[in-house]
Amino acid sequence: MQYYEIICSSCKQKFKVYEGSQRYRRFKEKTNKIFRCESCDSKIRMDAIKNFLSTHS
């Protein structure tokens, strides 16, 4: 399986993006310059949800 090794923009850890995944496509098409690993991505998503909830309650 083909993959790219990308440095996470957030935690600076190397992570692999495998062929067929959404990240792989985004990386190849260069539509996004900021790439985050799975754990940073979900952390940011959780923070966004928390912010949303705290400003809407």
Site for Zn ion, rule CB under 5 A: 8, 10-11, 37, 40
Number of alpha carbons in the 13 Å side-chain half-sphere of residue 18: 2
Nearer to Zn ion, 11 or 49 (CB): 11
Q: How far is the CB of 42 from Zn ion (least distance, A)?
A: 10
- Distances in Å between the Cα of 5 and the Cα atoms of 11, 17, 50 are 14, 6, 31
Identify any residues that bridge with 14 across adjacent strands, giving them in sequence order.
Answer: 7
Nearer to Zn ion, 5 or 54 (CB): 5
Q: How far is the CB of 56 from Zn ion (least distance, A)?
A: 28
